[in-house]
Amino acid sequence: MNTTTNLQRRKLLKYAALGIAGAVTYPSWAQTGGFVSVNRPSDGFSADVEIELTMNTAEIAILTGQKTRVWKVTGKVNKGSPGVLDNNEGTYLAPTLRLKKGQKVRLILNNNLPAQSILHWHGMHVPSNMDGNPMYALDQGETYIYEFEILNRAGTYWYHAHTHSVTARQVYSGLAGLFIVSDDQEQALNLPEGDYDVPLVIQDRSFDSQNQLVYSAHMMQRMQGFLGEQIMVNGRPDKVLPVATRAYRFRLLNGSNSRIYKLAWNDGTPITVIGVDGGLLGSPEQHQYVMLSPGERLELWMDFSERTLGTELTLRSLQFDAASHRGGMGMMGGRGGMMGGGMMGGMMSVSALPSGSDYPVLKIRVDRKEENKHSLPKSLTPITALQIKNAANATQPKTIALSMQHMSALLNGRSYKMNDIQPDEIIPVNSLQLIEFDNGFGDGMHGMMNMPHPMHMHGEQFQIIKREVNSRSSDSYATVSSGFIQSGWKDTVLVMPGEKVTVLKPFNDFKGLFMYHCHNLEHEDMGMMRDFLVK
């Protein structure tokens, strides 16, 4: 099929999905600013909050000297308190949205980019046609109207571009931001708020000598995933965060395309985790280090009240083995990694900052005295454990085999295709499903291309039931294994080489297409993505 036919087919699918008869008949409901909406606000929906988001090209001062061309989302609040939106002015980050469970939200998305694009609300439990599936991609000048009620519990969710085969490049250019949800239960805990509740979006970027973003997606980088040379926090390089002598809530998002972090405080202070993807844990957990793969979030508690003024602390990413050894050679750098990059499948990695090496992420400086008003609650929010016996397929787990072969990234041997639902991808609505992600667990030995895959499923959050790893991979695995948080609600889980991770996921309320894919965005774009059809 040639490209034109593909495009026409996509349009047809798009309009069919929207319930619009012909691909040539544009609906007449027009937005302000000349955008043409491809769908209409629904009559029965009365929004508590209405935000208009516009995707545009922009130039932002990131480094000293020349400005950097990025793709920037800018928002305005049409209805609701101004506090629901922070445009993150002066950075490439998309606006931070702060919403409350139970609110009815209308998000009007205008595409003013010289390319197709669409946004997806990662981790949010929304109807299929509000989820930003790539089939809804907007052309320049088009608008999509999202309407949904916030059903999720309080948590640090996010949103990003989800455009067919160019998600990685679009997210890298700036199309990603936070979607923070609060609820009464969380608010009753009296956790640090305002200036003491700090979102930290961790990403990596490379710049050329003109300060422009470098993104290359040749085969090597696609197989490994793009690794930037510069760590960015909230869109800034070499970030230093000034703090006061009191307790903080840090909301970490790994918004990188493919980089996996193994985070620890440089002075050996344990990491106190209070939340993961789908909100607060039942109770806080302490770890020497925590793993954070692309798409995942972590909420940390850090108390600086005993620190003296001037103290500096660094959040580092520590060394780990990202893959099994083959002939004694780390596949992705790391241990004894070679200058300028590691090895993958016998080929040189191209990053100056290889995956699994040791480097600083964020520097913190205690610069003022303040009274501490918070102590870490012993218990946070209750979490009901899902039971295998309640799964519709309790004795027959749905297995999703992860593989990279012949220069392709596959799920159960399949590559992404729009409108290509296979029988094992059909899920009854309102069922609980037992799902296992198998990354060469049964192989005993990995192929050259066993890599870590952060697996994500759209729709409702899931729970991790167990992790199993084969003996061949156990040495590498030991460099990461105590950094996984098993409790709480998740929407993305890192599956290491030789590992099998079993989860329980509810598919309640909404019928339609819900994607599952690797959140290494280069893998996703290479086709490591599929749809479930819930019906």
Question: By the criterion CB under 6 A, which residues form the site for ligand C2O?
Answer: 120, 122, 160, 162, 295, 456, 458, 515, 517, 519
Task: Say if strands 197-205 and 247-254 run parallel, antiparallel, or are unpaired.
Answer: parallel
Give the shortest CB-523-to-ligand C2O separation in angstroms. 12
Using rule CB under 5 A, residue 14 touches Cu ion: no
Using rule CB under 5 A, residue 505 touches Cu ion: no
- For residue 72, the partner it binds in Cu ion, ligand C2O, none, with Cβ less than 5 to 8 A by kind, is none
- For residue 518, the partner it binds in Cu ion, ligand C2O, none, with Cβ less than 5 to 8 A by kind, is Cu ion
Residue with Cβ nearer Cu ion (169 or 458):
458
Query: Rounded to whole angstroms, what are the CA distances from 513 to 136, 424, 508?
Result: 12, 14, 13
Q: Which stretch binds Cu ion (CB under 5 A): 56-64, 84-92, 144-152, 511-519?
A: 511-519
Both tokens of residue 281? 């844990």
**Could you tell me how many residues of this chain bind Cu ion (CB under 5 A)?**
6
φ, ψ of residue 130 to 5 degrees: the values are -110, 10
Residues 115-144 that bind Cu ion (CB under 5 A): 122
Q: How many CB atoms lie within 10 A of CB 32?
A: 10
- For residue 521, the partner it binds in Cu ion, ligand C2O, none, with Cβ less than 5 to 8 A by kind, is none
CA nearest to 145, candidates 48, 20, 36, 34: 36
* Residue sitting closest to ligand C2O (CB): 122
Query: Rounded to whole angstroms, what are the CA distances from 327 to 14, 345, 439, 452, 479?
Result: 49, 11, 20, 19, 18
Burial class (CB in 10 A: 0-12, 13-18, 19+), 36: middle
Give the shortest CB-81-to-Cu ion separation in angstroms. 27
x/- map, 436-475, Cu ion, by CB under 5 A:
-----------------x----x-----------------
Give the shortest CB-180-to-Cu ion separation in angstroms. 16
CA nearest to 104, candidates 44, 184, 187: 44
Number of residues in the chain: 535
Using rule CB under 5 A, residue 518 touches Cu ion: yes
Interatomic CA distance for residues 511 and 261, integer angstroms: 35
Both tokens of residue 509? 């309320």
- For residue 380, the partner it binds in Cu ion, ligand C2O, none, with Cβ less than 5 to 8 A by kind, is none
What 3 state SS string does 498-511 have? Answer: CEEEEEEEEECCCC
Give the shortest CB-337-to-ligand C2O separation in angstroms. 29
Interatomic CA distance for residues 392 and 390, integer angstroms: 6
Residue with Cβ nearer ligand C2O (181 or 515):
515
Residue with Cβ nearer ligand C2O (50 or 277):
277
Residue with Cβ nearer Cu ion (174 or 284):
174
Both tokens of residue 398? 């749905």
Q: Do 125 and 509 touch, CB atoms closer than 8 A?
A: yes
Using rule CB under 5 A, residue 171 touches Cu ion: no
Which residues neighbour 485 within 8 Å (Cβ) at sequence distance 6 or greater? 273, 276, 281, 285, 287, 290, 298
Give the shortest CB-456-to-ligand C2O separation in angstroms. 5
- For residue 517, the partner it binds in ligand C2O, Cu ion, none, with Cβ less than 5 to 8 A by kind, is ligand C2O
Binding-site member from 523, 529, 531, 534 for Cu ion (CB under 5 A) = 523
CA nearest to 231, candidates 251, 204, 269, 198: 204
Using rule CB under 5 A, residue 517 touches Cu ion: no
Interatomic CA distance for residues 50 and 172, integer angstroms: 27
Q: Which stretch binds Cu ion (CB under 5 A): 2-10, 38-46, 348-356, 520-528?
A: 520-528
Give the shortest CB-480-to-ligand C2O separation in angstroms. 21
CA nearest to 296, candidates 483, 530, 491: 491
Which residue is it, tokens 């929004």? 47
Q: Which stretch binds Cu ion (CB under 5 A): 20-28, 100-108, 141-149, 512-520?
A: 512-520
- For residue 398, the partner it binds in Cu ion, ligand C2O, none, with Cβ less than 5 to 8 A by kind, is none
Both tokens of residue 351? 């990053």
Residues at the contact surface with Cu ion, assessed by CB under 5 A: 122, 453, 458, 518, 520, 523
